[in-house]
Chains A and B, each alone.
Chain A
Amino acid sequence: MSFKIASSPHHHNRRSTSSIMQWVALACLPGIAVQAVFFGYGVLVQLLLAIITAWLAEAVILIIRRKAVLPRLTDHSALVTALLLAVSIPPYAPWWVIVIGTAFAIIFVKQLYGGLGNNLFNPAMAAYVLLLISFPVQMTQWLAPLPLQAVTLSPLDAFCAVFTQFSCGGFSIAQLQQGIDGITVATPLDMVRTDLAQGYTLTESYTKPVFQGIAGVGWFWVNLAYLAGGLLLIQQKIISWRIPAALLFGLFTLSALGWLAASDANPSPVFHLFSGATMLAAFFIATDPVSASTTDRGRLYYGVLIGVLVYVIRTFGGYPDAVAFAVLLANMCVPLIDYYTRPRTYGHKAKGSLK
């Protein structure tokens, strides 16, 4: 008879890393669905491409590094990365954009640091920024939301558009970008930025068709869907409430201040909270456990920092949506935040207290 040797504890609760990642992916689904409805099926094609690329890239690197491939592929972290990147880029960006982005995320930002858990930066967001500054044209190809689309695309069209930049019917992306009124439609955030830069007031800007609804057509619903998914994650105790709350708090406070000071030059807090990638960022991106702060106090600082940066860059910076930059900048600060927010260990005096 032989005996098994193991080290204590001999008992584990059974929520595994891969199931956590699966939950995250699951919680994304409402958001993805709304995105697909409002902005076309391109997002699904992008998703497919991203996931395949992510798996391939991960597998190749693991094989080169002589590590077990299967356990690491099935932890599904690459899947989440791919998913979050795919929903961040314009749905009809050419196929090589998402391929380059995902490969960069997995290879450079994740695996070069040693793989899951070792990376300092959020892979999806680093890849997004890379794509944004490398291929600004493709990365600003947002189509008009469904109610405003002059031409609606079938799922098949989506494939054609992503791979050839023309719909199967032969419309170019530039044509597709034109709304029903023949005017190219940018995202509401971009529009606000552009119009303010052009010297319009917000009231003037809001008359445009993109701004129907609380925060622009479609975007409000997208954000709402991600909010719902995020609340599910909190309820499942997969993410802690601290980061999203702090982030939204930071963004809300600053934008409220700005709005109260000059409501015609600064969009309302609600607009900020429900535009662009705010909710996605708050619940899915800023909460990436690997690159976020891990201490309770640190998470609050980290969230507020992102919120503030988002507002500052959206308002004063050169980019319409600032989530990716803000997250990366905050990632940079995480080691320092973590270091200075260590909790007081049992039996030790609090740092700085003269007890």
Chain B
Amino acid sequence: MIQHISKNALALALVAIVCVLVLGSLDLLTKPKIAEQRLLSQLAILQEVLPDATDSRALLADCTQVDAPEQLGRSGQKVYRWRQDNALLAYLLETTAPDGYSGNIDLLVAVSPNGTVLGSRVVSHQETPGLGDKIERRRSDWITLFSGKSATPADATRWAVSKDGGEFDQFTGATITPRAVVNAIYRAALYVQTHPELALLPANCEITP
């Protein structure tokens, strides 16, 4: 009986060890490459929003988490800071539009310290495919409209969809989604303007695996 059991146990262990050996060695071999890939992919998004950013690695590291659910949709959003030669050129903010048609819309917005939007992208959303999903860059160019638009507290009427009298077109049949996105970006830009201390906060983001 003991024999039988130990035979089983050893067999399974043996297979496990062989498997782990194979995987372990492969892991050692690929680890650096994978880490690099991961970094690259994260940078890719940042770079899309902020094409001018050159040393994006530094940008990734220079990140702080802020709690401003009122302005940025939820707490714990990350703010990356792009500095060149110690001058702060832009912020990259994670922001969330809480009032999408079917839920939250997560965005990444690049804003210059004076409140000009440099770029924006939707990171994730649940809007109706074919209707609300035109906010995706893959589906249409709409989201790029914001680049170069400046936002000040006085601009509130301008920062609206055209149906509400603003300067951003909504798409046919779906006003809610654009409205939500416009508002979110506007709020993010205002947030940057009203919180100059952002530049000074220590980098405290944990690096996502």
A–B in direct contact per CB < 8 Å = yes
Q: How far is the CB of B58 from chain A (nearest CB, A)?
A: 40
Q: Say yes or no: A318 contacts B128, CB within 8 Å.
A: yes
Q: Is A7 an interface residue (CB 8 A)?
A: no
Q: Is B173 an interface residue (CB 8 A)?
A: yes
Q: Say yes or no: A184 contacts B163, CB within 8 Å.
A: yes
Which range contains the number of A residues in contact with the other chain? 10 to 19
Cβ proximity bits A130-153 to B, threshold 8 Å, 1 near / 0 not: 000111110011000000000000
Q: Say yes or no: A135 contacts B173, CB within 8 Å.
A: no
Q: Say yes or no: A197 contacts B173, CB within 8 Å.
A: no
Q: How many A-B residue pairs have CB under 8 A?
A: 33
Q: A137-B130, A318-B128 given as contacts; is B172 within 8 A of A197 (CB)?
A: no
Which range contains the number of B residues in contact with the other chain? 10 to 19
What residues of A have a CB within 8 angstroms of the CB of B175 in the complex? 184
Q: Say yes or no: A137 contacts B176, CB within 8 Å.
A: no
> How far does the alpha carbon of A194 sit from the alpha carbon of B176 in the complex, in Å?
8
What residues of B have a CB within 8 angstroms of the CB of A137 in the complex? 130-131, 172-174
Q: A184-B163, A198-B99, A318-B101 given as contacts; is B173 within 8 A of A141 (CB)?
A: yes
Q: Is B124 an interface residue (CB 8 A)?
A: no
What residues of B have a CB within 8 angstroms of the CB of A194 in the complex? 176
> How far does the alpha carbon of A130 sit from the alpha carbon of B189 in the complex, in Å?
40
> How far does the alpha carbon of A55 sit from the alpha carbon of B174 in the complex, in Å?
35
What residues of B have a CB within 8 angstroms of the CB of A199 in the complex? 99
What residues of A have a CB within 8 angstroms of the CB of B128 in the complex? 133, 136, 318
What residues of A have a CB within 8 angstroms of the CB of B99 in the complex? 197-199
Partner of B130, one of A135, A183, A184, A198: A135
Nearest A-chain residue to B128, judged by Cβ: A136
Q: Is B102 an interface residue (CB 8 A)?
A: yes
Q: Is A174 an interface residue (CB 8 A)?
A: yes
Q: Say yes or no: B130 contacts A136, CB within 8 Å.
A: yes
Nearest A-chain residue to B134, judged by Cβ: A137
What residues of B have a CB within 8 angstroms of the CB of A136 in the complex? 128-131, 173-174
Cβ proximity bits A193-235 to B, threshold 8 Å, 1 near / 0 not: 0100111000000000000000000000000000000000000
Nearest B-chain residue to A138, judged by Cβ: B173
CB-contacts of A247-271 with B (<8 A): none
> How far does the alpha carbon of A136 sit from the alpha carbon of B176 in the complex, in Å?
14
> How far does the alpha carbon of A133 sit from the alpha carbon of B101 in the complex, in Å?
14
> How far does the alpha carbon of A133 sit from the alpha carbon of B175 in the complex, in Å?
17
Partner of A197, one of B101, B131, B163: B101
Cβ proximity bits A103-145 to B, threshold 8 Å, 1 near / 0 not: 0000000000000000000000000000001111100110000
> How far does the alpha carbon of A141 sit from the alpha carbon of B102 in the complex, in Å?
19
> How far does the alpha carbon of A174 sit from the alpha carbon of B131 in the complex, in Å?
15
> How far does the alpha carbon of A174 sit from the alpha carbon of B163 in the complex, in Å?
12
Partner of A140, one of B129, B163, B173: B173
- Which of A137, A194, A198, A199: most chain B Cβ within 10 A? A137
Partner of B172, one of A134, A174, A198, A318: A174
> How far does the alpha carbon of A141 sit from the alpha carbon of B176 in the complex, in Å?
15
> How far does the alpha carbon of A174 sit from the alpha carbon of B173 in the complex, in Å?
8
> How far does the alpha carbon of A194 sit from the alpha carbon of B173 in the complex, in Å?
12
Cβ proximity bits B159-176 to A, threshold 8 Å, 1 near / 0 not: 000010000000011111
Q: How far is the CB of A243 from chain B (nearest CB, A)?
A: 30
> How far does the alpha carbon of A135 sit from the alpha carbon of B101 in the complex, in Å?
16
What residues of A have a CB within 8 angstroms of the CB of B101 in the complex? 197, 318
Q: Say yes or no: B131 contacts A198, CB within 8 Å.
A: no
Q: How far is the CB of A131 from chain B (nearest CB, A)?
A: 11
What residues of A have a CB within 8 angstroms of the CB of B130 in the complex? 134-137
Which 8 A/B pairs are nearest by Cβ-Cβ distance? Answer: A136-B131, A318-B102, A137-B173, A140-B173, A136-B130, A136-B128, A137-B172, A137-B131
23 A-B pairs in the complex with CB atoms less than 8 angstroms apart: A133-B128, A133-B129, A134-B130, A135-B130, A136-B128, A136-B130, A136-B174, A137-B130, A137-B131, A137-B172, A137-B174, A140-B173, A174-B172, A183-B163, A184-B163, A184-B175, A194-B176, A197-B99, A197-B101, A198-B99, A198-B176, A318-B102, A318-B128
